């Protein structure tokens, strides 16, 4: 793990860490920003492009399924999430994406760590699946397999054995490949929350439950909000003097289809609690849009400007913008800055007399979401 310290030094904020943290194959140094600190892979902004709707990624607010945004979410969402129509729509999405992006929507940038490799697999029009490989044993897990063909191709190219599927939540663009992969890999188990109705689920997980895959240890963290059973996954490295100090998560709170702003805020706080050096790996390639929106909220934020500049360049070259670190996300991501006076001021919000700080932050989060809805609608 000492080697990882070298990366840590270059893994700064505001986008400076990208060159290191995004780093990759061949001679490129491993991306881990530090040893002994938590990592997270999943961005709070990384949410599914549900039904390709021209709508915000965290809508709608106002409690369970209640739409306060511009998107007729409840009927449409119910169709997508709870009926076969949703599955048919997903299949069409997959087909169109394969035609439009035969090599994926972005250039994959593998991240190599001692004993472990994380390979992002660009799927659909902006989703990511992740193949996580214990390089010692060749055992692997995939997170959120949307397109089974793309995942299978990566498995074959890497020459690994698929032992586990981890699903962050039930939506088809995160779980649609479960059945096909299970057919091909008979011993492969499917993990996720029992609350979420994940297809082909074999091993329901409780909050903080751990699963071993080869030398790697995954830890499930319940982060409800986007769906009632949404989970992100921490990942421990191979056996070493600081096992489980390095954790990576995947998932993303996403739109608030099945939770309130308060619920989402609590889930985000769970993620933030993992520490600034935690790596964030998003479920979607949304950074450019999210940061452009953020730059309209906070007009004078150098970290945001710098990151937006870097992201713009990355996307011009069709390169992935992940992972980021939780530390840098907190410098520019409005959904993680509800406690910041400058953001509150920019939104014109003030904490009411007697208002609980968390209640106020939830109100700030709701307002950010509302503005994002308007931004998307225009």
Minimum distance of Zn ion from residue 169's CB (angstroms): 5
Minimum distance of Zn ion from residue 360's CB (angstroms): 27
Query: How far apart (Å, rounded) are the C-alpha atoms in residues 210 and 216?
Result: 10
Q: Is residue 225 classed as helix, strand or coil in its secondary structure?
A: coil
DSSP symbols for 145-183: ---HHHHHHHHHHHT-EEEEEE-S-S-HHHHTTHHHHHH
Confirm whether 105 is a catalytic residue: no
Query: How far apart (Å, rounded) are the C-alpha atoms in residues 175 and 275?
Result: 28
Closer residue to Zn ion (CB): 161 or 195: 195
Confirm whether 173 is a catalytic residue: yes
Closer residue to Zn ion (CB): 151 or 160: 151
Confirm whether 169 is a catalytic residue: yes
Q: Which stretch binds Zn ion (CB under 5 A): 154-162, 170-178, 272-280, 329-337?
A: 170-178
Confirm whether 284 is a catalytic residue: yes
Minimum distance of Zn ion from residue 171's CB (angstroms): 3
Minimum distance of Zn ion from residue 259's CB (angstroms): 12
β-pairing verdict for 116-123 and 111-113: antiparallel
Confirm whether 230 is a catalytic residue: no
By the 10 Å C-beta count (0-12 exposed, 13-18 middle, 19+ buried), 1 is classed as: middle
Binding to Zn ion by CB under 5 A, coded x per residue (else -) over 209-248, reads ----------------------------------------
The DSSP output letter for 284 is B
Q: Which stretch binds Zn ion (CB under 5 A): 64-72, 101-109, 250-258, 299-307?
A: 250-258
Q: Identify the active-site residue in 147, 185, 196, 226.
A: 226
Q: Identify the active-site residue in 134, 147, 196, 246.
A: 246
Q: Where in 8-67 is the site for Zn ion (CB under 5 A)?
A: 48
Minimum distance of Zn ion from residue 283's CB (angstroms): 8
Secondary structure of 285-338 as H, E, C letters: CCHHHHHHHHHHHCCCCHHHHHHHHHHHHHHHCCECCCCEEHHHHHHHCHHHCC
Q: Which stretch binds Zn ion (CB under 5 A): 108-116, 120-128, 254-262, 264-272?
A: 254-262
Tell me how crowded residue 139 is: count the other CB atoms within 10 A of its CB: 19
Q: Which stretch binds Zn ion (CB under 5 A): 28-36, 89-97, 116-124, 171-179?
A: 171-179
The contacts of residue 289 (CB under 8 Å, 6+ apart) are none
Q: Which residues are catalytic?
A: 169, 171, 173-174, 226, 246, 284
Query: Can you give the binding site for Zn ion, defined by CB under 5 A?
Result: 48, 171, 254
């Amino acid at each position: 793990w000492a080697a990882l310290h070298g990366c840590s030094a270059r893994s700064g904020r505001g986008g400076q860490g990208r060159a290191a943290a995004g780093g990759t194959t061949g001679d490129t140094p491993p991306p881990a920003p530090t040893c002994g600190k938590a990592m997270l892979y999943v961005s709070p902004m990384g949410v599914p492009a549900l039904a390709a709707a021209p709508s915000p990624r965290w809508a709608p607010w106002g409690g369970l399924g209640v739409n306060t945004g511009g998107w007729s979410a409840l009927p449409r969402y119910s169709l997508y999430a709870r009926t076969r129509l949703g599955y048919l729509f997903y299949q069409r999405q997959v087909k169109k994406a394969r035609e439009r992006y035969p090599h994926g929507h972005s250039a994959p940038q593998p991240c190599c760590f001692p004993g472990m490799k994380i390979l992002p697999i660009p799927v659909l029009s902006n989703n990511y699946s992740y193949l996580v490989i214990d390089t010692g044993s060749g055992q692997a897990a995939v997170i959120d397999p949307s397109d089974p063909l793309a995942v299978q191709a990566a498995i074959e190219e890497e020459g690994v054995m698929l032992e586990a599927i981890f699903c962050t939540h039930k939506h088809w663009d995160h779980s649609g490949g479960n059945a096909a992969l299970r057919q091909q890999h008979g011993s492969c188990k499917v993990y996720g929350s029992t609350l979420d109705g994940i297809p082909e689920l074999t091993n329901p997980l409780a909050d903080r439950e751990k699963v071993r895959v080869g030398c790697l240890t995954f830890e499930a963290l319940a982060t409800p909000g986007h769906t009632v059973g949404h989970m992100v996954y921490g990942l421990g490295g191979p056996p070493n003097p600081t096992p489980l100090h390095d954790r990576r998560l995947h998932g993303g709170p996403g739109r608030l289809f099945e939770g309130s702003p308060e619920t989402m805020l609590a889930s985000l706080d769970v993620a933030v609690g993992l520490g600034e050096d935690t790596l964030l790996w998003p479920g979607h390639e949304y950074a450019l849009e999210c940061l452009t929106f953020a730059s309209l909220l906070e007009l004078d934020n150098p970290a945001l400007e710098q990151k937006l500049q870097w992201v713009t360049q990355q996307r011009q070259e069709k390169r992935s913008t992940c992972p980021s670190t939780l530390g840098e996300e907190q410098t520019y991501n409005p959904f993680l800055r509800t406690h910041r006076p400058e953001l509150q001021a920019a939104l014109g919000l003030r904490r009411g007399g007697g208002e609980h700080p968390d209640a106020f932050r939830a109100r700030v989060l709701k307002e950010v979401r509302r503005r994002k809805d308007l931004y998307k609608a225009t």
